[in-house]
């Protein structure tokens, strides 16, 4: 029986961690949206120190013992035991790291973000490489402290998606490559779909107007709890209960990029907004597995946002904003173009079919990097070779190649695979959703919330009360299978390209 | 002789305080610009807790003893002794407050901001009054803990501007009223200046464009260290070295309000940017007295921004942005209109002549409030009476009356008088500047930086190394006298209105 006093201490501890978390989230959002660059070094040093204060709390030995006790205490309710377990698991991964090393690694990743941004703008990987080198060194050292018998990359995969490892992803990606590369080759050999009108001149200010005045309201992204800004690399952050921040990036030569990125990020946002409020202030309302999170954003982006029904509701407003560019384009042509599979350089702008191949490339590179088969000096060469091999495209520069993604400068490895896995979760979930409700009718008639309500009831509300496989079981009545995903893609593209 | 170890501890302590300060500044800026309202209560509770952590550091008894030792230690250099004195002075005011009371008062002021905003939007003082009541109660309690023999309002005045008190302000404001109210009466009786073209329809988006593309570059507000956003009540915050945030508010029916507010805030920003970098990371580069700060912002706004020379450089660009509204207006008419004295409701939009009368009203009300002659229930009535008496205007609602300013909801009392005192400092300083350099030629030819360089050399670089009277002595070679200020206003308005 754990004393009331100890439980109160636990509550205070959670609150204190969440206070640092909120501050650090706001600092980070600010940095990636509007912060003046010359302040960077001064902010970064202080941010790292604050991260250290949070780290001290999270790895407090006394609290670690209490969590250990709590997670197995049959007198506590299941929610509390689960929350204690999740805090304990997180602490068990970091308690072995010396605080000074943690703090300097935090400062490094903050500096690395600026270095990445500068390198990307200068189109010069060599400006970023020294930072990446040190980040990888730190990661190896920190994972070494854990003393696990699993490989570092296995541990990274498990951290992002509990239960996953190289063997499981290898099997998944073998199927992805085995089925989608041949399909893509057939698509590329077929009569191409005209997408040229998507790439006319679409001024950013007008895209923003369409997004803010039409799209966000359609998606029920409510300004009372969510705010959207712009950044180099779109993201979603929850700073605390009822406070979500999303970002997008408007590309003047691509009218759908910011739209699908917005639908994607608002998918993330809605997920956490819909978590059962009884979990507020517990870890259960955050820290959901990465693939589960991506399943919800990618479900919104691809299985809702790219449908004909979605555009029946939204295309007229887009046309009205861009009469010269889209006035003469029939709806059907626009929807076909928005779904066309065209091998390209950028993951963020990729279509549904080529997207998982962008992920395979990153997965294989990360695996080789941490298993010691390649070093940072080989990255750009390997990257470009794989793009040629899997997607048939030549990478002309670093900016749209090795430097396109923000993840590595943040020390985030083992995350990319969750985008593909999440897409596969999404396919299975949406299959069940379509059995239960008329998704197309909901989208067509401006009732996006009907889809969200189904997701809330069957997926969102759980937060991370259960691991992903259990949530999929509850939502769909079946074990997870990626066949839904690959079957869907085969069916969709066979039809779209009349293969 | 203070040990190296202790001095290192002092350095670490400063850094830690500055880390919380940065986080709290960013949280506050976020709150006042873009934060979604539903997150307010959750953010506010955590913000208050973080303020409490900073409070614990600032009032650490061991550090307090060290500061006491340092401030008088002849072995330390003058800069370090001054910094230690300023930290010590600040701590000596707060060390007497119980931490829980401090934290809950911080939470209250955060909540009060939202309440003030809601009350202002709803035009209903009664929604804000309960918060104001509690804020005043807390202030009285906290000042009571200090056990000073000075009155509470005297202490508040001294906190904002060291050395000032009711007696000194009474003398100053007696002259302000004695000389400016009769002057204003004469102005009001004279032939009015046409200002109607300033109040045509000026869409906010275009004002923003002019500000960002033309005005900010003219003012040398450099995006590498400064970022401007929008808010209900314009402010300037430094989050850390090389990182300044300013805000403005675009009023569609007033083309100059946001311009003068921008010049004002960038004046604040430039001040701290120009402080000698050897003071970086010491309290000497911040916490400059309020009137000294306001002197620099109001110098820029009034003694530079309202001159004919300033508009010779800037009016063509403004006309180009608003050809329909301003195309046919001669420069001279525009400058006259921008200087016209017209009694109005809003301090923020007030001209130079009526401005100090808006301040007198606030000063007298605050004095009566803390000296117990009136309560929050009387505020609106007293406010409206004084506006009638001093400015001859009827206050038609709360929004543009008692609720117009943000200060009280932040618990900021005794600050308003520094705007008028700062204007008087500015008059004396600019008088000397005009002896040394050709201000008009600098403004006319797009060399605003020549004025800033003079201020940097003679005022800004000191930060708060010295108190305001000493800086004025160094900058002008004379003791402070408000005659420059009142003489200037009399000369200016006598000429402008052909009195």
Q: Tens digits of per-residue pLDDT, B268-280?
A: 999 999 999 999 8
Question: Would you call B244 helix, strand, or coil by DSSP?
Answer: strand
Condensed to tens digits (0 to 9), the pLDDT of residues B382-440 reads 999 999 999 999 999 999 999 999 999 999 999 999 999 999 999 999 999 999 999 99
Condensed to tens digits (0 to 9), the pLDDT of residues B66-119 reads 999 999 999 999 999 999 999 999 999 999 999 999 999 999 999 999 999 999
Condensed to tens digits (0 to 9), the pLDDT of residues A440-467 reads 999 999 999 999 999 999 999 999 999 9
Is pLDDT above 90 for A308? yes
Instruction: Compare CB distances from A49 to B19, B35, B229 and report the shortest one's residue.
Output: B19
Whether the CB-CB separation of A114 and A40 falls below 8 Å is answered with: yes
Q: How far is A240 from chain B (nearest CA, A)?
A: 7
- pLDDT at residue number A28: 96
Handedness of CA A224, A229, A233, A237 (dihedral sign): negative
Rounded Cα distance between A493 and A343, Å, is 14
Q: How far is B290 from chain A (nearest CA, A)?
A: 24
In this structure, what token pair is assigned to residue B473?
A: 């002595």
Question: Is B243 close to A36, i.e. CB distance below 8 A?
Answer: yes
- pLDDT at residue number A288: 77
In this structure, what token pair is assigned to residue B185?
A: 């009466």
Instruction: Compare CB distances from A226 to B36, B43, B223 and report the shortest one's residue.
Output: B36
Q: Looking at residue A243, what DSSP letter applies? A: E
- pLDDT at residue number B288: 77
Count Cα neighbours of B114 within 13 Å in the Cβ-side half-sphere. Answer: 19
Question: Is B39 close to A242, i.e. CB distance below 8 A?
Answer: yes
Q: How far is A449 from chain B (nearest CA, A)?
A: 20
Chain B environment of A25 (Cβ under 8 Å): none
**Best to test chain A binding among B40, B212, B239 (most A CBs inside 10 Å):** B239
Q: How far is A170 from chain B (nearest CA, A)?
A: 42
Rounded Cα distance between A416 and A407, Å, is 8
**Best to test chain B binding among A36, A228, A236, A270 (most B CBs inside 10 Å):** A36
Rounded Cα distance between B395 and B387, Å, is 7
Residue A36 burial (CB count, 10 A): 18
Question: Is A15 close to B49, i.e. CB distance below 8 A?
Answer: yes
In this structure, what token pair is assigned to residue B180?
A: 């400016």
Q: How far is B15 from chain A (nearest CA, A)?
A: 8
pTM of structure: 0.95
Question: Is A243 close to B36, i.e. CB distance below 8 A?
Answer: yes
Chain A environment of B121 (Cβ under 8 Å): none
Using a CB–CB cut-off of 8 Å, the residues of B that contact A are 15-16, 18-20, 22-24, 26-27, 30, 34-39, 42-43, 45-47, 49-50, 53, 223-227, 229, 239-244
Question: Is B241 close to A35, i.e. CB distance below 8 A?
Answer: no
Instruction: Compare CB distances from A43 to B24, B37, B239 and report the shortest one's residue.
Output: B239
At B93, phi and psi to the nearest 5? -85, -20
Question: Is A43 close to B224, i.e. CB distance below 8 A?
Answer: no
At B239, phi and psi to the nearest 5? -90, -35
Using a CB–CB cut-off of 8 Å, the residues of A that contact B are 15-16, 18-20, 22-24, 26-27, 30, 34-39, 42-43, 45-47, 49-50, 53, 223-227, 229, 239-244
Chain B environment of A37 (Cβ under 8 Å): 224
Whether the CB-CB separation of B143 and B166 falls below 8 Å is answered with: no
Question: Is A43 close to B22, i.e. CB distance below 8 A?
Answer: yes
Whether the CB-CB separation of B209 and B321 falls below 8 Å is answered with: yes
Is pLDDT above 80 for A286? no
Instruction: Compare CB distances from A23 to B27, B242, B243 and report the shortest one's residue.
Output: B27
- In which band, very low, low, confident or very high, does the pLDDT at B47 lie, cut at 50, 70 and 90? very high
Instruction: Compare CB distances from B50 to A23, A226, A239 and report the shortest one's residue.
Output: A23
Residue B137 burial (CB count, 10 A): 13
Give the per-residue SS3 of A181-222. HHHHHHHHHCCCCCCHHHHCCCCHHHHHHHHHHHHHHHCCCC
Rounded Cα distance between B350 and B491, Å, is 19
- pLDDT at residue number A491: 98
Question: Is B227 close to A34, i.e. CB distance below 8 A?
Answer: yes
Question: Is A225 close to B18, i.e. CB distance below 8 A?
Answer: no
Q: Which distant-in-sequence residues (6+ apart) come within 8 Å of B260 by Cβ?
A: B301, B305, B306
Instruction: Compare CB distances from B227 to A24, A36, A53 and report the shortest one's residue.
Output: A36
Average pLDDT, chain B: 96
Report which of B329, B199, B323 is spatially closest to residue B252, judged by C-alpha positions.
Answer: B199
Question: Given 3-state DSSP classes, what are the helix, strand and coil percentages for chain B, each rounded to the nearest 5?
Answer: 70, 5, 30
**Best to test chain B binding among A23, A205, A213 (most B CBs inside 10 Å):** A23
Question: Is A43 close to B49, i.e. CB distance below 8 A?
Answer: no
Distances (CA, A) of B135 to B121, B130, B370, B400: 21, 9, 12, 22
Chain A nearest-CA residue for B45: A19
Rounded Cα distance between B464 and B83, Å, is 9
**Which strands sit side by side in the sheet containing A226-230, from one edge to the other?**
A226-230, A243-248, A236-240
Question: Is B224 close to A16, i.e. CB distance below 8 A?
Answer: no
Interchain CB contacts (distance < 8 Å): A and B: 110
Q: How far is B306 from chain A (nearest CA, A)?
A: 29
Single out the catalytic residue among A107, A265, A294, A301. A265
Is pLDDT above 70 for B287? no
Rounded Cα distance between B85 and B99, Å, is 22
Single out the catalytic residue among B106, B166, B265, B272. B265
Question: Is A241 close to B39, i.e. CB distance below 8 A?
Answer: yes
What is the DSSP code string of B110-140? HHHHHHHHHHHHHT-GGGTHHHHHHHHHHHH
- pLDDT at residue number A287: 62
- pLDDT at residue number A284: 81
Pairing verdict, β A226-230 and A236-240 = unpaired
Q: How far is B247 from chain A (nearest CA, A)?
A: 13
In this structure, what token pair is assigned to residue A164?
A: 């996953």
Chain A nearest-CA residue for B54: A50
- pLDDT at residue number B284: 81
Condensed to tens digits (0 to 9), the pLDDT of residues A138-190 reads 999 999 999 999 999 999 999 999 999 999 999 999 999 999 999 999 999 99
Question: Is B43 close to A240, i.e. CB distance below 8 A?
Answer: yes
Q: For chain A, what is the radius of gyration of the CA atoms?
A: 23
Chain A environment of B36 (Cβ under 8 Å): 223-227, 242-244
What mean pLDDT comes out for the span A460-477?
95
A77 exposed, middle or buried (CB, 10 Å; 0-12, 13-18, 19+)?
Answer: exposed
- pLDDT at residue number A4: 95
Element (H, E) at A248: strand A243-248
Chain A environment of B103 (Cβ under 8 Å): none
Residue recorded with tokens 């170890």: B5
What is the DSSP code string of B189-234? HSPPPP-GGGGS---HHHHHHHIIIIIHHHTT--TTTEEEEE-SS-
Residue B180 burial (CB count, 10 A): 25
Is pLDDT above 90 for A82? yes
Question: Is A19 close to B239, i.e. CB distance below 8 A?
Answer: no
**Best to test chain A binding among B22, B208, B216, B280 (most A CBs inside 10 Å):** B22
Chain A environment of B51 (Cβ under 8 Å): none
Active site residue A265: yes
Distances (CA, A) of B420 to B187, B258, B287, B303: 20, 20, 19, 14
Angle between helices B355-370 and B416-436 (to 10 degrees): 140
Distances (CA, A) of A460 to A240, A252, A477, B115, B482: 17, 34, 16, 32, 65
């Amino acid at each position: 029986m754990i004393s009331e006093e100890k439980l109160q201490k636990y509550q205070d501890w959670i609150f204190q961690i969440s206070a640092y978390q909120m501050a650090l989230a706001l600092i980070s959002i600010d940095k990636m949206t509007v912060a003046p660059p010359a302040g960077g070094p001064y902010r970064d040093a202080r941010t790292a120190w604050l991260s250290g204060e949070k780290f001290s709390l999270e790895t407090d030995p006394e609290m670690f013992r209490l969590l250990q006790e709590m997670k197995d205490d049959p007198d506590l309710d299941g929610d509390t035991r689960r929350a204690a377990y999740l805090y304990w698991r997180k602490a068990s991964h970091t308690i072995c790291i010396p605080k000074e090393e943690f703090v300097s690694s935090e400062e490094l990743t903050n500096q690395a973000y600026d270095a990445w941004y500068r390198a990307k703008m200068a189109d010069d990987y060599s400006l970023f490489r020294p930072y990446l080198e040190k980040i990888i060194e730190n990661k190896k050292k920190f994972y070494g402290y854990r003393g696990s018998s699993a490989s570092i990359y296995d541990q990274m995969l498990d951290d992002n998606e509990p239960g996953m490892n190289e063997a499981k992803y290898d099997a998944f990606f073998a199927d992805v490559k085995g089925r989608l590369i041949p399909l893509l080759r057939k698509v590329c050999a077929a009569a191409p779909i005209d997408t040229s009108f998507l790439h006319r001149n679409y001024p950013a200010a007008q895209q923003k107007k369409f997004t803010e005045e039409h799209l966000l309201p359609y998606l029920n992204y409510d300004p009372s709890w969510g705010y959207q800004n712009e950044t180099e690399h779109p993201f979603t952050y929850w700073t605390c209960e009822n406070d979500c921040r999303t970002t997008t990036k408007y590309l003047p030569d691509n009218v759908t990029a910011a739209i699908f990125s917005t639908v994607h990020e608002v998918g993330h946002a809605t997920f956490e907004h819909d978590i059962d409020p009884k979990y507020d202030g517990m870890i259960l309302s955050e820290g959901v597995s990465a693939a589960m999170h991506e399943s919800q954003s990618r479900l919104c982006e691809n299985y809702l946002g790219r449908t004909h029904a979605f555009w029946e509701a939204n295309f007229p407003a887009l046309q009205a904003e861009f009469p010269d560019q889209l006035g003469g384009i029939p709806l059907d042509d626009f929807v076909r173009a928005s779904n066309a599979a065209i091998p390209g350089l950028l993951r963020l702008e990729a279509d549904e079919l080529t997207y998982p191949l962008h992920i395979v490339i990153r997965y294989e590179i990360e695996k080789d990097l941490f298993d010691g088969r390649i070093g940072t000096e080989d990255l750009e060469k390997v990257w470009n070779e794989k793009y040629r091999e899997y997607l048939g495209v030549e990478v002309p520069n670093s900016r749209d190649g090795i430097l396109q993604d923000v993840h590595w400068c943040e020390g985030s490895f083992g995350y990319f695979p969750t985008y593909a896995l999440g897409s596969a979760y999404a396919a299975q979930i949406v299959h069940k959703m379509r059995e239960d409700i008329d998704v197309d009718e909901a989208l067509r008639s401006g009732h996006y919330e009907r889809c969200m309500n189904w997701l809330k009831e069957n997926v969102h509300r759980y937060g991370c009360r259960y691991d992903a496989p259990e949530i999929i079981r509850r939502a769909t009545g079946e074990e997870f299978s990626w066949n839904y995903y690959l079957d869907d893609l085969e069916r969709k593209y066979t039809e779209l390209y009349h293969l």
